[in-house]
Chains A and B, each alone.
Chain A
């Protein structure tokens, strides 16, 4: 898709108004580039047609990684490297002494699943310290909702449509960098 440098910012002051506006704009086959909201508006991603996130699947895989790390580490240290007799605990095979290894297997699974998922989230959503805020209007973290629609030669129609959706402000913005 070609990059249009002009976008329209339609600002709403109510989440329900925003939802019906998004549906209307979608029905008219316009491309919504972005919606900035101060809080998660439930159902907005569906209305916009965003693909579901796969971050939970990633987390599951990270958890499996953590479990593997725990098993390999303890098997190596306790069974292969120094198979010592500590208080009569059987160290002949991993399975023999497994009950004592379960707490750490569990903790490392959770550790890997949680932290790697959060890191993935930060990287995918591009949030990290010293990152500049990207919301075009500071009011969108308070009680305003901003819909950004790409303009592609249909300015007047689009402005008319957005003005009819209950927007309190409709601004044409040149995003040329």
Chain B
């Protein structure tokens, strides 16, 4: 069909023989199934880190900021470094869901949900720091222009720290509704697939009664597009405003007009690195390798190359302008007495190595298509971008205009503990998300299945029409199994039950057979009609039983064997 035209040069974005139903099953599986042991182990570690960080935060607030390693010269260090680092990480999510939507990039669809989740969880971490680094955080509400009993004393709208309040809260809230609106159809899918009553109730509540009417979809798409149009300048503005915290100051090394675009590029750079780190693990753990393919990883690597290049140019520009300005205070010129050769040389060279040299390897196609290497590079970039913020903040503050104020900074265990705590908190949220939310925007992936799915590409290349090809045998069998059929096949049914065992409803519990890939609602009814209700019974099926079932049901030839129902049932028993 012409509506699904796709240039043959493009590689498929959904691999395998996927149908619409497969997408629902694969996306629903982690949500409707149970968590495995490794999930609980990782979750516990993250929770412990989070609780430790929480302890450090409580200790700071109840004792005073003096428990940190700050001094009179260096009043911002790990707190604001971590703040900018987390905000930066958050930027990739909006970039993927908004900017790539405006550019109609189909590959965004498999990654946008998790990238947006990452945004929200990262901005939550970032949002902690502006509060806890305050000397008197219980007066934090004074940053809001609320009428009050002090003659209505207002805030000063000249300060970038106040702009931060508006920027971060707008960013978080807009990202949240953007994400949530996109989730409604997917929650509705989970709602309609859920069997446990409590689960059904929860997802009914979360899906806001989404029904998928044509008019709803029309508005939904318009709303997504407008939100993308709003989120794109928003994402640029937020990190711009964060960069104003430094750029509008008079501190040599901070006062620089290049900061807004340079910070934004760095944010996208570090954000994509974090997306890679998370998704490379998630596609494996949640069995989503057919949706988050090597091609997605390569595309994200290309964005990393681009933004990493922009960041590198910014470093060079800073360096050049430092020398070109002729200002003796511009100690950002790394070589004068600043970063490269001073006491913080290690932080500077960590930055150059992690952000400039290592990402260059991604120019080699073989390496950027190597998942292990991508994972390593992504981790390295996350570290490098932390050092970038550390360099800008701490190194520039450590040697100011008056040499009598020069000093060094070293963090205390509380500084480090709070940072660890935010990492723990982030993973607590992300791990909970991965178990309860549809991690792939299945409604969106279904829209590109016919244009970018491997199976449909093959059909198209063979010159076949795609009309009717989405029909899935498992969900749309018209035949039904009635009493007459039962009578006709009674001999075979007896043979079949002899081998798999009878089901005793008084002592045994009926299993949800649709958990087995290849068994749809109709097939389950068939199986139940015959007298098969449990995984135990299915796990005893062999070639002979499969053939018996095939001849009884009269459809699905060889399907049971191909899908290895017995093997799947065994796994489900052991879960």
List chain A positions with a Cβ less than 8 A from chain B: 13-17, 19-20, 34-45, 48, 50, 52-53, 55-56, 59, 73-74, 77-78, 81-82, 84, 86-87, 89, 97, 100-101, 103-104, 106-108, 110-111, 113-115, 117-118, 121-122, 124-135, 138-144, 166, 168-169
Report how far A43 CA is from B217 CA in the complex, Å. 11
Q: Please choose the segment from B58-66, B308-316, B341-349, B466-474 that sits at the chain A interface, where 4 or more of its residues have CB less than 8 A away.
A: B466-474
Inter-chain contact B476/A13, CB cutoff 8 Å: yes
Query: How many whole Å from A19's CB to the nearest CB in chain B?
Result: 8
**With contacts A40-B443, A143-B19 known, is A130 near B219, CB below 8 A?**
no
Report how far A131 CA is from B217 CA in the complex, Å. 17
Report how far A144 CA is from B450 CA in the complex, Å. 15
Count B-side interface residues using an 8 Å CB cutoff: 77
Inter-chain contact A16/B1, CB cutoff 8 Å: yes
Inter-chain contact A50/B218, CB cutoff 8 Å: yes
Q: List 10 A-B contacts (CB under 8 A).
A: A16-B468, A38-B443, A38-B446, A50-B214, A53-B219, A59-B226, A78-B154, A114-B174, A135-B192, A169-B478
Q: Please choose the segment from B44-52, B182-190, B382-390, B542-550 that sits at the chain A interface, where 4 or more of its residues have CB less than 8 A away.
A: B182-190
CB-CB under 8 A from B91, the residues of chain A are: none
Residue of B nearest to A32 (CB): B214
Q: Which of B166, B222, B225, B468 contacts A104 (CB 8 A)?
A: B166
Report how far A168 CA is from B178 CA in the complex, Å. 36
Q: Which of A36, A37, A86, A103 contacts B237 (CB 8 A)?
A: A103
CB-CB under 8 A from A16, the residues of chain B are: 1, 3, 450, 466-468, 470
**With contacts A20-B467, A122-B208 known, is A110 near B234, CB below 8 A?**
yes
Residue of B nearest to A12 (CB): B471
Query: How many whole Å from A100's CB to the nearest CB in chain B?
Result: 5
**With contacts A86-B156, A133-B188, A142-B189 known, is A50 near B145, CB below 8 A?**
no
Query: How many whole Å from B449's CB to the nearest CB in chain A?
Result: 9
Query: How many whole Å from B455's CB to the nearest CB in chain A?
Result: 14
CB-CB under 8 A from A41, the residues of chain B are: 214, 217, 447
Report how far A86 CA is from B162 CA in the complex, Å. 14
CB-CB under 8 A from B1, the residues of chain A are: 16
Q: Beyond A110-B170, A135-B212, A168-B478: 8 further Cβ-contacts under 8 Å?
A: A16-B467, A36-B213, A87-B158, A103-B241, A117-B223, A134-B211, A138-B192, A143-B19
Report how far A45 CA is from B214 CA in the complex, Å. 6
Inter-chain contact A142/B166, CB cutoff 8 Å: no
Report how far A115 CA is from B171 CA in the complex, Å. 11
Inter-chain contact B217/A44, CB cutoff 8 Å: yes
CB-CB under 8 A from B468, the residues of chain A are: 14, 16-17, 166
CB-CB under 8 A from A129, the residues of chain B are: 205, 208
Q: Which of A17, A86, A140 contacts B212 (CB 8 A)?
A: A140
Q: Which B180-221 residues have C-beta < 8 A from chain A?
A: 181, 184-185, 188-189, 191-193, 204-205, 207-221
Residue of A nearest to B153 (CB): A82
Q: Which of A34, A39, A55, A142 contacts B213 (CB 8 A)?
A: A34
Query: How many whole Å from A173's CB to the nearest CB in chain B?
Result: 16
Report how far A56 CA is from B233 CA in the complex, Å. 17
Q: Which of B21, B450, B475 contacts A15 (CB 8 A)?
A: B450
Query: How many whole Å from A127's CB to the nearest CB in chain B?
Result: 4
Q: Which of B20, B157, B185, B191 contacts A78 (CB 8 A)?
A: B157
